[in-house]
A = this chain, B = another copy of it.
Amino acid sequence: MGAGRTYRMGRIFGADGRTLILPVDHGLTLGRIEGLEDPVARVDGLLELPCDGLLMTPGLTRMTADRFARRDAPARLLTLDTFFRLPGESSAGTGLAGSVEQAARLGVDCLKLFMAWNVPSGERAATLARITEVVRRAEEFDLPVMLEPIAVGEERTAGAIAVEADGARAALEVGADIIKVAYPGPELMAAWAAELRVPLVILGGPRSGEADAVLTLAEEAVAHGARGIVIGRNVWQRPPDVTLRLMRRLHEIVHP
């Protein structure tokens, strides 16, 4: 691993190799969603919580640059692409929403790209080709790349998880430094962590069920090899006191 990547991965994963990341990049594709209407205020609020990194788009990263202009601030990970699919559409709209040069100028620690994997073969290949070009450029700046293979909009059946296993594997093969996955259950979590070897981080997904369910998920995931949690709506779409409690517990789970 190059010196730049070593430095940046260290900023994200810290001394114990674990990370708790807060995504606040939803506005790009989901628009003005509940709890994130005011993204800068949300960032300001989240910065008071214990966390290791924030996942943001280029615009929000630029707007909040001053908040991170200190040595002990959380890392910043940059969302670099879009994924749109309206109800009834047979194909999705995807593309870049930022550039590697922007990332380098902004001084972020990682790039994040999406891999919808339950899609037609043409979309799969186009997604990898787009990612490949980003990886090529990222290597020039020694920037780590996080990829996120997802069976979009599917129920969590064994079939959907198998599609994501294939996507995670493709992510590894094109050069992912970090892979962000939906929690596949304890056995597969352990298997994937052992097999893929790059850090796997678990996504929180949309708010659902009881607040404490996310803690169970995080504990289980970390116990079976997850190197971190990337959790947004399931945390910050709760009342502030719940959010605070959840983050403290998550931080304890990730960094015991």
A213 at the interface (CB under 8 A from B): no
A39 at the interface (CB under 8 A from B): yes
A58 at the interface (CB under 8 A from B): yes
Q: Is the CB of B99 within 8 A of A132?
A: yes
Complex Cα–Cα for A60 and B134 (A)? 17
* Stoichiometry, copies per complex: 5
Residues of chain B within 8 A (CB-CB) of A170 are 27-29, 31
User: Shortest Cβ distance from A210 into chain B, in angstroms?
Assistant: 29
Complex Cα–Cα for A197 and B91 (A)? 34
Chain A, interface size category, equals 35 or more
Residues of chain B within 8 A (CB-CB) of A162 are 31-32
Q: Is the CB of B173 within 8 A of A27?
A: yes
A223 at the interface (CB under 8 A from B): no
Chosen A-B contacts, 23 in total, with CB atoms closer than 8 Å, are A27-B173, A28-B173, A31-B166, A32-B166, A37-B195, A38-B194, A41-B195, A59-B174, A60-B172, A63-B172, A63-B197, A83-B125, A86-B120, A89-B120, A93-B121, A93-B122, A95-B125, A96-B128, A96-B132, A96-B133, A98-B136, A99-B135, A102-B135
